[in-house]
Structure 1
Amino acid sequence: MSRYSIRRFRAEDSAALHAMTVEAIENIGSARYSNEQIAVWSGRHNNPSRLADLAANGAVIFVAVDECDAPAAFAMFEKDGHLDQLYCSPDHSRKGLPDRLLATAEDYARALSVSRLYTEASELARPAFERAGYMVTHRRDFDLDGVAIHNYAMEKPLK
């Protein structure tokens, strides 16, 4: 069984995390989304340097890595308490990595005295957020490039 650790994002992670995001959407997404929804969702992830740009502008990205320091999952935390971009490689699914990433982000938020965490979770990510204590506030139905899709606004107060 592989051992994983969590570390902060490095610029050299960009390409691997970008590929992981697209792979997760395309390979795991079909469990809850149509082919058309998957195509428009993955098409939104067309900039391999986007995470590096976000990190350079203050986003904190936590990366779960295997024993060879290869990225297996990641989550992005913004200092206002917004959690975004929770993705796990299909090759590393069912290993509890989203749960560990959410716990790490929560610890980080508490250290910053953030009072509330919030996210917009896909059907795929919703169970991980629920396990971490987030509550659905409402379903968000919207349109991406002419395709109807949805996610869930979720939040967790921190005490």
Structure 2
Amino acid sequence: MTALVRPYQAEDCAACWAVFHRAVQIGARNHYTEAQRNAWSPSMPRPTRSRCARLMQAMTLVACDPVDNTVIGFMSLLGDGHLDMAFVEPDRMGRGVAGMLHDGILARARENGLTRLTTDASHLARPFLMRRGWRVIAPETIGRKGIELERFRMDLQIGDRQ
């Protein structure tokens, strides 16, 4: 799959949050119950000022369809090296989009002198990240709206790795 990866722009906000919602509700269907997915993202998120700022203030990359330029995925890295968000349209999962975004995020992290990345990965993201050298530090259970969700604290030592 070829996608165009570029830095996030303010006009991408609504599209990124729509990708997030569909990835949770459809893409994570085999990993989380309906109640868990609804606790995570109960409805299509509105592109509020705080949601847009969250993506703008991070090092966020978006992947766009090369034909119609629609946003099909995104990843955001905080300045401290925490991979905050990583989501791909369900019908584009398994086609290399996340890998392209991950490569771009790693390049940005190195450019910014980061040597260690961390994340809180879902059941869906964990195997993807492990294939790219991330390791599980520990599983953890968090509560959202009275529902428990399991995720995995992970890290990646990047240093000068290519």
- Distance in 2 between the 1:123 and 1:44 partners? 21
**Count of residue correspondences:** 157
Q: Distance in 2 between matches of 1:51 and 1:99?
A: 24
Whole-angstrom CA distance in 2 between matches of 1:27 and 1:89? 9
Residue ranges of structure 2 left out of the alignment (5+ in a row):
none
**Are residue 54 (structure 1) and residue 54 (structure 2) matched?**
yes
| Alignment-derived partner of residue 78 in structure 2 | 78
2:28 is matched with: 29
Instruction: Say yes or no: does 1:5 pair with 2:4.
Output: yes
CA distance in 2, matches of 1:90, 1:72: 9
Which residue identity is paired with 2:3? Y
CA displacement at 1:158 relative to structure 2? 1.8
User: Contact between 2:14 and 2:46, CA under 8 Å: does it hold in 1?
Assistant: no
Identity, in percent, stands at 27
1:76–1:19 distance in 2 versus 1, CA, 3 Å: same
One-letter code of the match for 1:48?
P
- Taking the TM superposition and a 5 Å limit, the aligned residue runs for 1:138-157 are 138-157=138-157
Residue 37 (structure 1) shift: 0.2
Tell me if structure 2 keeps the 8 A contact 1:103–1:132.
no
Partner of 2:19: 20
Q: What TM-score comes out, normalization by structure 2 length?
A: 0.90
Deviation string for 1:94-144 (max 9, x for gaps)?
Answer: 111111111111111111111200100000111121122100000011211
Of the structure 1 ranges 41-50 and 70-79, higher mean CA displacement relative to structure 2 is found in 41-50
**Which residue of the partner structure matches residue 96 of structure 1?**
96
TM-score by length of 1: 0.92
Q: CA deviation at 1:21?
A: 0.9
Distance in 1 (CA, whole Å) between partners of 2:132 and 2:62 is 18
C-alpha contact 2:64 2:71 (8 A) present in aligned 1? yes
Unaligned runs of 5+ in 1: none
CA-CA distance at 1:36 after TM superposition: 0.6
Give 2:21's aligned amino acid.
V
Using the TM superposition, give the Cα deviation of residue 91 of structure 1 relative to its aligned residue in structure 2, in angstroms. 2.2
Measure the CA separation in 1 of the matches of 2:54 and 2:64. Answer: 20
